[in-house]
Amino acid sequence: TANLGSTGMAANHTDDLGERRDVAEFCGYELLEEVATGGMGVVYKARQRGLNRIVALKTMLAGQLASDAEIERFRIEAEAAANLRHPNIVSIYEVGECQRHHFFSMDFISGKSLAGLIREQPLADVVAARYVRDVAGAIQYAHSQGILHRDLKPSNVLIDEHDQPQVTDFGLAKRLEADSKLTVSDAVLGTPGYIPPEQVDGRATELSNVYALGAMLYEAVVGRPPFRAHTRIDTILQMLQEEPVPPRI
């Protein structure tokens, strides 16, 4: 159920069987079902009423109680993705605010995430290589547009109905400065297991995504990331102190 305060309301609609049903509405969107929840936002499958199309609608989990920092991060994600046009990056349709609720809508990808496919079974080498190759092309394009994706991992890659990978979730994106080698200092950002040692110190560059691509390829063919422990800190320590187990054929 959407927690959208005064912006959400129940409306009666008739489904294909002629039965009445309740649908939550939000700023011109019908919220059909919740499809994902992260640390900061919730994503719904929704119908954009004006254009009668199915979209993915992302809203802030904190809603009207969101802090300035949370709003800024949400805005960065929306703006970063909205300025990218690439066949392997999820397209953004609309970015807005409705009665203090920040949201954006994007292309709805009905397939599974790359992480979901890997959980079922490791991928064939040629399939894994193709997916990572296409993601690499999308990330190279993002870099050329001055956008650095700092949380690249299998769960942020969706596989669409045409078996094409689609990069999503630019919530930790950073705009690169004119000097492409300039690093950015921040708290530890990203997901342990997919970030390189330098990103632990808050320094992320385009090369950080090259490392993440390698970690994704490793996981795709092995079935687990190169480093994984019970806690976030233990995973970071493992990455700093150990070598990954070599993949075996």
DSSP H helices in the chain: 68-82, 114-120, 125-144, 197-200, 206-222, 232-241
d(C-alpha 223, C-alpha 118), whole Å: 6
The number of beta carbons lying within 10 Å of the beta carbon of residue 19 is 8
Q: Which two tokens stand for residue 155?
A: 């769960």
Catalytic residue among 151, 160, 169, 201: 151
The identity of residue 163, as a single letter, is D
| 16 classed as catalytic | no
Instruction: Find, among 71, 58, 67, the residue nearest to 31 by Cα.
Output: 58
As beta bridge partners, residue 98 has 101
Three-state secondary-structure class, residue 77? helix
Kindly report the three-state secondary structure assignment for every residue of 152-199. CCHHHEEECCCCCEEECCCCCCEECCCCCCCCECCCCCCCCCCCCHHH
By residue count, the chain amounts to: 249
- Given a contact cutoff of 8 angstroms between Cβ atoms, the answer to whether 173 and 77 are in contact is yes
Residue 95 — φ and ψ, nearest 5°?
-125, 130
Q: Enumerate the active-site residues.
A: 151
